[in-house]
Structures are given as structure tokens and as C-alpha cells.
Structure 1
Amino acid sequence: MTDSTKKPEFREDDSWFSEAQLDRLAPADHADPAHSPIPTQMVSNGEYMPIGQTDKQKEVEARLAALSAQAAKRLGMSRRKFLTTTGGFAASFIAMNQVFGEFFDVRPIEMLMSEAYAAGGPPRDLFVFDDQTHIIRSSRTGPGNALRDIAEGNPNTFNPNNLPDELGRVNFPWNPALVGLPNLNSNFHLAQYMKDVYLDSQVTVAIMTNNNSAAIPGAGGSRPPKNVQESEANEILTAEQTMATRDWVNQLAGSTRMLGHGQLYTGTGNLWFIEEQIERLKPDSWKGYNIATAAKVDNDPNSDMMRWALDDPDVAYPTYAKIDEFARKDHGRILKEHPGFMNLSIHKGLQTNATTRDPRLGHPIDIPRAAGDWPQFNFIIYHSCIKPAFWVLNALNEVNSGVLREGVPDISWTTEMALLAAPFKNVYAEIGTTFASTVITFPTVCAHILGQLLKFMG
């Protein structure tokens, strides 16, 4: 029974502790008379018993007390007041470095000058926009995927022969923080996404995107979907789930922290779904995959959907026209509410074993005509159209081969894409996982890609 004499903010009734356990504990603010900016011992949220303060934590507390006393005296303020400033945070990091080793990039001057502390951190007006993020529906459980394996430095299907990277390392992780973590689908559920993107990174706004390259399982193997409904049932996320996630995040934040991609299901047989997305789901911009069997070219319920090209006047152009039609309605009302509505983000590349220059497999040959015929759209080419998928040894070999295209190493599909796109101001290159898959393991390739994109596309 709740004690009605306790103050409303009294929270012990909400803990899972027994009376005997509560007798052994004290509120966190009572146990920290120094009022350290960073706790110097374990603090429980009421679900578990905290362990006692360790010797090293006691040493951190003592060093922080000494540092803060000295700094406060020099600044002419009380130690408690000092600990509420950025200098107090700097002193905490310095104390931890002195005890545990140099883990934090902090200088003693930062205890005394807030300007120095600010100079060592991100700018106050830092804006980080992540233009491609994914989650998967929570019903998908079990083991994770090969992309996470290569990022963690595990054996993976992208490098099945365990070949060394440019620096001679085998299965070197893209991000050391991922090493040893279980590769599970739950890593890609919404709760983990919220932690990774909005709590553990500096992302300000992200786009929730999707992948409509679903294959329908069957007794004789997989087949293309025949309609949007079949495709969405087998995707990692439906269009409605994508936009519901966006709306939930923004409602939770009280501001625009997430945008959402509408799905480019092209062809005359899918125009109804483009309309439905616009009218009901209200996408901020669009995402499409040429390699996806997502084009319905007729109204035959038994015909398979197929891959498509950006410059196909019979398949892609009716879709562009439908989006453009809505953009022009009511004096451009949609563009005022969703300024990126005319942005078409197109997945291209990542086809290591492709043997033809087929735009339906992601080759960039279809970009110039589409960009020229539809100047009101922005074509954002994801992955910068690089041909090898995530393991780019082939690209390094091309750089080292001496073969040039317009004076630069001919990196398959990326160099050609940059040259084809160069005359068009409405074509952009997205680097995303292309940067991630090269900067650590193939830095020479990364440098050439960035240089070429800047040289030809600006």
C-alpha cells in the first residue's frame, strides 16, 4: 500500500526492491555529497541492486574533488557551482583519464574556460542529416545479415575467400564498437534504432527508407511479386509502417526528427499505389530500386512485376508524371509541406557479378535521359553507383591498373556515373555505405571516389 504521507515525487514505491534491500540503499543525490556531474558509483533505476563503489571509483571521486577545488578557487566560485559548469564536466573526464587511462579527449584549460571546452566539442548549431536509415519489422527475428557481419569484421559472404583488405588485414571491422556483438535481427528493430541513431549518435534528422525488392517464396524457388500487396508482405517494412514510424518519432520528439520515403512502385499498373501513398501516407520524398521487381506494366493480375530503368518512357515516366501532377496541385501545396517531394532517391550499383551494362541491374546509363527529360526532379543516386557490393577489392585493382576514364582511374560504374551525371544539376551522388565500406578497409578507393565526385559533380 502506498504511504499517503510521502511527497508526490517519492519513487521508492515504484521500485522492485524489498524493504530489506531498500534499507541498504540511499537516494543517489544523498549518496553523492560532492554532486559530481558524472556519477562516481553505480546508480540503480530500481530494477537491480547496485554494487558498491569500487576503489578506482573512489579514486576518481577524490581526484575530482581536488581538481574542482583548485579550479573553483581560481575562478572565484564555490566548488558546487563549478561542478555545474562545463568546467565541472571537463574535470570529471580528466579525473577518469587519470585513473583509467586516456579515454577522453580533454585538456586542463577546459576546466577554466568554457570557450576551450566548447572548442573541443561539436558546434552548437551542428546539423547532421542521415539520408538513408533502415529498420525491419519486429516480427522478423533470428540471425542478422551479411552486411552486419562485414561491418563487425566477421567472416562474410561478400568476401567468402577471406582475402586481405588494402592494408593487409583479413576481416577488419568497419567499426570497432561492433566487434563481438551478436548479429541478430533484433539489432535492426525500432527500439535499437532509436538508441543507435538518436541517443548514441549526433544525428539531427534521419530519413526512414525502405527496400521494395521483395521475392515471393515458393515450392520451385522464389518468384517476382505480381502486385504491391504481395511485395509488401515480404518486405522488411511496408510503406505504411515506414510512415507510421516517421509520424511516431516526430510526435515523440515534438519536432521534425524523421522524414519518410515513399516507395517507387513504377508502371501504369501501380499508379493507384503512388496516389494512395501521396493522399494517405504523405511521403516526404521517394525511394526506388531499379533492380527491384517493382514495376507493373499492365493491369493483368497474373503478370509478374519486373525490373525497370529510369529512362523508360512506358514504365518510369507515367510514375514521374503522377508525382509531378500532385506537386502542381493547389499551387504547389505539397511542396510547401514536403519540400523534398520531388527528390527521387535511386539505389544503383552493388552488383559485383553483373556482366552487362543493364540499367535494370543498376548501371548508370539511364541517368542522362531521365534527368534531361524531367528537370523538375532531383535524382539522388545512392551508393554512388559503385559496382562491387561492400567488399571493393575489385575497385582497388581498377585504381592500380592504370586504366583511366577522362584522366581518372575507372572505378566500375562510379566513375562512369559521375561523368554521365556531370552535365545535369539535378543529379546527386549519395555515398552512404560506399564510404563506410571503403574508408577503413580500402582508403585509396575512398579517396579516389570522393575526388572524382567533387571533380565531375561538384
Structure 2
Amino acid sequence: MGSKTLPEEPPRLPIKLGSTTNGEYEPRPVSDRIRWVMRTALERADANARRLGMSRRSFLRSSCGAATVFLTLNEVSGCGGRYAIPEEAQTDPAAANVLEGDEFIFDVQTHHVSTDRPWWKTSRPTLANFLLTTPQANCGRSEKLECFDRDVFLKEVFLDSDTQLAVLSALWGTDDINAIHIDEEALTRKRVAQMEGSPRLRIHGIVLPKDESPQQTRERMHAMKERWKISAWKLYPVWTGDGTGYRLDDPATGLFTIREGLRLGIKIFAVHKGLPLPGNQGAFTSPIDVGPAAKAAPDATLLIYHSGYDPSIHEGPYDASGRSAEKGVNALIRSLEENGIGKRGNVYAELGSIWREVMKDPEQAAHVLGKLLVHLGEDRILWGTDAIWYGSPQDQIQAFRAFEISPEFQERYGYPALTPRIKRKIFGLNGARVYGVDVDEIRRAHANDAVMRERTEYRNDPNPSFRTYGPRTRRELLGLFRDEGPV
């Protein structure tokens, strides 16, 4: 199709710095600082592309394009963190290799939706209202929600990024409005499993202890274990059908579910904490109940999705006193400390959405990672990206590879250096241990399988979208809860 019928889209930076959310919180407006970075990085990309005799699009798809963005971001960052990239990486592909790596990357939080049933045809708020506000909704498919289906998921996660293993996590909502059912998750897993070199995908099962009777919850959990062979349970304490939520340490709901899961022999529980869902009671996104629940159920493994991150606050050094410990990462740390859950405990902090947000602010990123490393330890932090809500997770991977905590913050706050060894643990080795994955076996299986061959061929002529999925303004987020379905 010629350019006359399909005009070139406006250029997108390979590192997504614009304002957006995963549909679970109000987006922060783009700051003047980030606007300057985006504008300046694009200008420099034009100049660097001309210097190398490349088109701007080709340059932006290269490691040099990503390096240009990170180096520009360094210029407006504080003293806490930076991206360790040499200046010459903007025009020297060899120097830009710092953004590449061979780590085992296990993304423990990814998502896609089903388009096989009309879950969006309801007057109740659904995920569809959010998805239709995103740029990806205009991807060219005949039905807009197909832009978020399993085909797009497989491309964005396994072709456009270095992810090797992933967890397809369950979504909020009762069966009538839930964007993906357990059988649909299993179908995606089956499709991936048909490729040589598998497995590459694990799945979660959603549990709704306040929207079902105890007997219904038991039956649901038993079926998900026996029929669908899930790897872990997914809990959204903030979401209930009546909007009231529940506590993780409540014997009738949260603890009931945890104890039932342990009885069934699946001890991993992925718990949404932080990122308050609009229209629900924000108190139930707080991680203050994590410590008591972990103490009451020591045999359970709790993966705290988003690490309790609350976008309404700015993450600074840890402070256990006053309002600073009521929300965000500080609240999670305080809850664990008060209940004796430490570096060898049964709680893990997961980086989905939180890393995507703070990587735009290296000083805040240094505090988040530094606090988690000091209080939970390098063995209790898990890599997750919330893909595909933000498009391909490759920019998040590149950012983490290059990021470093400054010597000044190490000395002032006692944060450890973010070494390659620690990064390898966070990228995948910790998740592999939690899920019982034999990394060496997986690496051998993946060494030259169909996905790797296709990824290698695709990288010869890549077509990454660089799309940012998610509402970019408060108005777009509120669209998530308007009383109409997709058209």
C-alpha cells in the first residue's frame, strides 16, 4: 500500500516517556521537564540520523535511538540515578550495545484480552472503556479490541522484546465483564506450547472471595487447579462487584483464599497492591495488610504486584513515620517490618507499572529500587512490566539494563550498587526460583526454537510500534468508567 493511502504516523520515541496509565490509576500530566526531553531527543534523533545517513524511523528503531533518549533524560535528572551510557552511543552502534544483554528475562506480569465473546457489551464499567482511549485501538484491525488480542500480545512480548518467559496474569471483574477467562488464558498458553522450545508461558487464576460464596470460591479454585493447571492465584482486594473491596488479612476473604490455595497445593498468590482503581475504595489498594497476611500464612508466597506504588505520591527515602508510610512503597516496607517479614520472608515486590513510571525520573527510581533492595533484599524483587498495556516492554528492559544508583545515594541512604548480578536476579532468576523454573533447561530449549528463529529474522527488519497503551490524561482515564461499550 502506498504512502498516499497510508500516511506515515508521527514519530514516536523508542523510550515511552509520555503520560499514560494501565487503566488502574489517574495518569500524571507530562511535566515540563519530560516535554523538553521528548522534544530535544527527537531533534537529536533527526541530527544523528542525518549524520549516519539513516532515515529518522530507522534511527529510532536502533539502539542508538534509544541511547539518545536516555542520554537526554540524564541531563535533567537529579543526583540519585542515571543511565550509564557513553555519549558516543548516540551514533556508535558498538557503544550502544550497553542496552543489549543476555539475561534470562522472566516477566511475571503480562496481559491481553479476549475478543471471542462480547464481555464489553454491558452498562457496567469494563476494561474496554480504557482500551478504546489508547492509540493502539486504531491499529487498523476491523474490530478495535482485536488490537489487544493474543496475536498482538505474542508480537509485542516475544518479538519486540527480549522476554523469554512470561506469566499471563488474570484481570479484575466477575465472569460477565472480565476481559479474559481462564480457558482463554489456557488457549494462549496452548498456542505458545505448540511451538518448539516451550514452555514460554504460565497462567494465573482469578479468585473473587467477596463476590462468591465460600463454596463457590472453593469450587472455582479446585477447577482452576485440576482442569486448567494454573501456576498461581490472582487477587484484586481493591475490586469487588459492590466497590467495597476486602483486606488480605481478613479471615473471611483474603486469608480464606490463601488458606484454601495452600490446601490445594498452589502456594503462590499474586496480589494487586497500589494503583488505586477509580471508583473503588482506595484503602484496599494500600499494602498495610500484606505484613499481617504474610505472618498469618507463613507457607504462602505473596507476590505484591506494583509493590504498593501509589502515583499520587513522590517516592523518596524510606520513612516509617507519619503520612509518608501510609501509601506507596514505604507503606509496604513498614507493614513488613512491623510483622517481622524480612529479606528471607515470604513476600516479594513486583515492578509492574512502577518501573515504567519511575524510570522517567531517575532520582525517584533510585529511591524505589534502593529501598526495596535494603528492606526486602536482592532475592525478593521480581521483574514485571504490565505488558501489553504500555506496548512492548523492550524500553523498560533497556532502561533497567542501563540504570545505576549513584554513589552519592549509596553513601547517603545505604543503598547497594545496582550490579549486573543483582539485575540478573531481578530480571528473571528470582522469578524462576519462585515458579520452580529450571533456567538452564529453559535456555537450552529456547536456544534455537521457533520463537528465537522468528525473533532473529524479525530483528533484521523490525517493526516495533513504540506505542504507549493507556489513558494519557485524566479525561481519557475517566472514559474507562463511562457507561457505554465499544462501538
Q: TM-score band, normalised by the shorter chain?
A: 0.5 to 0.7
Aligned residue for 2:226?
279
Aligned residue for 1:36?
none
Equivalenced residues, count: 288
Aligned residue for 2:465?
none
Counterparts of 2:253 and 2:277, CA distance in 1: 26
Counterpart amino acid of residue 374 in structure 1: A
Counterpart amino acid of residue 246 in structure 1: R
The one of 272, 276, 290 aligned to 1:347: 272
Aligned residue for 1:371?
294
Q: What is the CA-CA distance between 1:145 and the residue it aligns to?
A: 5.5
Q: What is the CA-CA distance between 1:256 and the residue it aligns to?
A: 0.7
1:437 paired with 2:362, answer no
The one of 179, 183, 186 aligned to 1:240: 183
Are the equivalent residues in 2 in contact too, given 1:395–1:411 (CA < 8 A)?
Answer: no
Distance 1:310 1:249, change over 3 A: same
- 1:298-447 superposed matches below 5 A: 307-327=245-265, 341-351=266-276, 358=283, 361-387=284-310, 392=311, 394-396=312-314, 399=316, 404-405=319-320, 410=325, 412-422=327-337, 423-424=340-341, 425-440=345-360, 442-447=361-366
1:256-289 deviations in Å (ceiling 9; x for gaps): 1000012223361311111111111110111110
TM-score of the two chains, using structure 2 as the length reference: 0.50
Are the equivalent residues in 1 in contact too, given 2:63–2:96 (CA < 8 A)?
Answer: no
Q: What is the CA-CA distance between 1:411 and the residue it aligns to?
A: 7.5
1:340-387 deviations in Å (ceiling 9; x for gaps): x321110011128799883xx222222122111211111111111123
Residue ranges of structure 2 left out of the alignment (5+ in a row):
4-48, 65-85, 87-93, 122-126, 378-487
1:406-452 deviations in Å (ceiling 9; x for gaps): 69965723201112124321111112101112322x44333322222
- 1:133-148 superposed matches below 5 A: 133-139=110-116, 146=130
Aligned residue for 1:292?
239
Counterpart amino acid of residue 322 in structure 1: E
Q: What is the CA-CA distance between 1:254 and the residue it aligns to?
A: 4.1
For the residue of structure 2 that corresponds to 1:234, the secondary structure is: coil
Are the equivalent residues in 2 in contact too, given 1:346–1:379 (CA < 8 A)?
Answer: yes
Distance 1:347 1:120, change over 3 A: closer
Counterparts of 1:198 and 1:148, CA distance in 2: 24
1:166-210 deviations in Å (ceiling 9; x for gaps): xxxxxxxxxxxx899689533311111111111111110111111
Counterparts of 1:179 and 1:185, CA distance in 2: 7
Counterparts of 1:179 and 1:305, CA distance in 2: 28
For the residue of structure 1 that corresponds to 2:246, the secondary structure is: coil
For the residue of structure 2 that corresponds to 1:448, the secondary structure is: helix
TM-score of the two chains, using structure 1 as the length reference: 0.53
For the residue of structure 2 that corresponds to 1:276, the secondary structure is: helix
Distance 1:100 1:149, change over 3 A: same
Higher RCO structure (Cα 8 Å, ≥6 apart)? 2
Residue ranges of structure 1 left out of the alignment (5+ in a row):
1-47, 51-93, 108-115, 153-177, 215-230, 295-303, 328-340
Q: What is the CA-CA distance between 1:234 and the residue it aligns to?
A: 1.2
Counterparts of 2:277 and 2:201, CA distance in 1: 32
- 1:214-233 superposed matches below 5 A: 214=173, 231-233=174-176
For the residue of structure 1 that corresponds to 2:170, the secondary structure is: coil
Q: Percent identity?
A: 25
1:129 paired with 2:129, answer no
Counterparts of 1:421 and 1:189, CA distance in 2: 37
Q: What is the CA-CA distance between 1:97 and the residue it aligns to?
A: 3.8
For the residue of structure 2 that corresponds to 1:132, the secondary structure is: strand
Counterparts of 2:138 and 2:51, CA distance in 1: 25
For the residue of structure 1 that corresponds to 2:303, the secondary structure is: strand
